[in-house]
């Protein structure tokens, strides 16, 4: 066993076949359901992206209409889940912890079979996609001292999320910005949270457990937790007007620059390109080019400093950098950036779980034991 090759972080190991998305890290290309991300993200509604992942094709107009109606019908929370969220908000629990609690409780008060079989799981998948925005928005309303806003069935998925957060009719430019974001990050190969979801599914556990585990994985700053810190960084430097000082201090302190670097991409993350285009349009329409211009300037300086800092490792802009910029623009509170990532990524998680169910083998890698052997037992009162 000792001579077994160790793949730390499972780097370079393929463990599943998928039709959902494909990443070429050398060329900086991402394909989602057969479409280059650039061709899908700005055109699709989120409902179309999810339909695409669940059915491996785009819906017809009639299919889209009935899919939208079906999803909209699953938006309401049970009283039990609302109580969980009210309590979480009262105790100032972090948004991702509240989301984890809400998802874990998602089958309380719901008259549905436990989703362990592919057919039931398909139905439950739509329920989870629909209910996550309501969980996040309900938590946020309680957290802000406001009453939750009931979902509206006449609004699309993205518009309804914005509406539930603020209680106001959403601005079409903000809806388009958010929709572009949701489509861009809906799926991304076997990232950490998706692997967790597939791994839980592989033991023939259920979909709610898989998505609950995935939420826990997404929370960390090396995965979905980066955009909040990215925004803090940008606002700090925008105010101080000293990007070089900030970059020098951060890198000299051995800290990582949030929003840069990726396990798979050796180029700029193509999602960063899509989101920077969407953010540029959004800020131009809103008449706030100054902030966007600053962001672009900071990105260029950061990439060049990182190249000096780590000449052997390309450290380019990743998706989280422009996620922060775009979500800030469309009015998502920064405390909800990662939870909003989950609002999108749940579409990928459930589609991966269904793929795993259809062609399952339990996930069971190996570890390399580096501990002692042959120890002799000492009774507790004789130990030093």
User: Applying CB under 6 A, does 315 fall inside the site for ligand CMC?
Assistant: yes
- On the CB side of 108, how many CA atoms lie within 13 Å of its CA? 13
Could you give the CA distance from residue 58 to residue 153 in angstroms, rounded to a whole number?
Answer: 22
- Least Å distance, CB 225 to ligand CMC, is 8
Give DSSP secondary structure letters for 159-227.
HHHHHHHHSSPPPHHHHHHHHHHHHHTS-BTB-HHHHHHHHHHHTT--HHHHHHHHHHHHTSTTTTS-H
Of the candidate spans 36-44, 79-87, 140-148, 310-318, the one that interacts with ligand CMC by CB under 6 A turns out to be: 310-318
CA distances from 383 to 188, 316, 372, 379 (A): 51, 53, 18, 7
Rounded to whole angstroms, the Cα distance separating 181 from 207 reads 24
Looking at 42, 114, 156, 256, which residue binds ligand CMC (CB under 6 A)? Answer: 256
280 is catalytic: no
Binding flag, residue 259, ligand CMC (CB under 6 A): yes
Alpha carbons within 13 angstroms on the beta-carbon side of residue 205 total 17
Stretch that binds ligand CMC, among 13-21, 54-62, 131-139, 219-227 (CB under 6 A): 219-227
- Using CB under 6 A as the binding rule, whether residue 9 contacts ligand CMC is answered as yes
Is the Cβ of residue 265 or residue 283 nearer to ligand CMC in the bound state?
A: 265
Rounded to a whole number of angstroms, the distance between the first and last alpha carbons of the chain is 32
Query: Shortest distance, CB of residue 219 to ligand CMC, whole angstroms?
Result: 11
Distance (Å, whole) CA 176 – CA 159: 9
Stretch of 195-203, 311-319, 324-332, 348-356 contacting ligand CMC, by CB under 6 A: 311-319
Task: Establish if 270 lies at the interface with ligand CMC (CB under 6 A).
Answer: no
Active-site residue among 82, 262, 316, 352? 262
Residues of the shown chain interacting with ligand CMC in the complex, contacts defined by CB under 6 A: 9, 188, 191, 222-224, 226, 256-263, 310, 313, 315, 318-320
Q: Give the residue numbers marked as catalytic.
A: 262, 320
């Amino acid at each position: 066993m000792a001579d077994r090759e160790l793949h730390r972080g499972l780097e370079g190991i393929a463990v599943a076949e998928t039709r959902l998305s494909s990443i070429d890290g050398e060329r900086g290309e991402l394909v989602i359901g057969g479409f280059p991300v650039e061709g899908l993200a700005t055109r699709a509604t989120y409902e179309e992206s999810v339909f695409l992942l669940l059915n491996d094709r785009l819906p017809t107009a009639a299919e889209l209409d009935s899919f939208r109606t079906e999803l909209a019908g699953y938006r309401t929370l049970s009283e039990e889940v609302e109580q969980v969220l009210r309590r979480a908000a009262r105790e100032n629990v972090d948004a991702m912890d509240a989301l984890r609690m809400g998802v874990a409780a998602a089958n309380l008060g719901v008259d549905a079979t436990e989703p362990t079989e592919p057919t039931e799981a398909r139905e439950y998948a739509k329920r989870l996609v629909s209910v996550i925005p309501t969980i996040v928005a309900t938590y946020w309303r309680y957290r802000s001292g406001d009453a939750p806003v009931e979902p509206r069935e006449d609004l699309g998925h993205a518009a309804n999320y914005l509406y539930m957060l603020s209680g106001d009719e959403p601005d079409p430019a903000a809806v388009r910005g958010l929709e572009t974001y949701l489509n861009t990050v809906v799926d991304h190969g076997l990232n950490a949270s998706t692997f967790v979801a597939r791994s839980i599914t592989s033991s023939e556990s259920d979909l709610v457990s898989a998505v609950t585990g995935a939420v826990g994985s997404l929370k960390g700053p090396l995965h979905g937790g980066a955009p909040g810190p990215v925004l803090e960084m940008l606002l700090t430097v925008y105010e101080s007007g000293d990007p070089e000082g900030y970059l020098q201090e951060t890198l000299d302190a051995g800290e990582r620059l949030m929003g840069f670097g990726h396990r798979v991409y050796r180029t700029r993350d193509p999602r960063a390109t899509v989101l920077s285009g969407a953010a540029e349009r959004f800020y131009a329409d809103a008449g706030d080019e100054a902030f966007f211009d600053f962001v672009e300037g900071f990105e260029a300086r950061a990439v060049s400093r990182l190249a000096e800092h780590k000449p052997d490792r390309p450290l380019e802009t990743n998706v989280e950098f422009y996620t922060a910029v775009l979500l800030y623009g469309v009015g998502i509170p920064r405390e909800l950036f990662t939870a909003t990532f989950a609002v999108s990524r749940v579409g990928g998680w459930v589609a991966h779980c269904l793929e795993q169910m259809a062609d399952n083998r339990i996930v069971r890698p190996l570890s390399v034991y580096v501990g002692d052997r042959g120890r002799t037992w000492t009774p507790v009162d004789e130990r030093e």
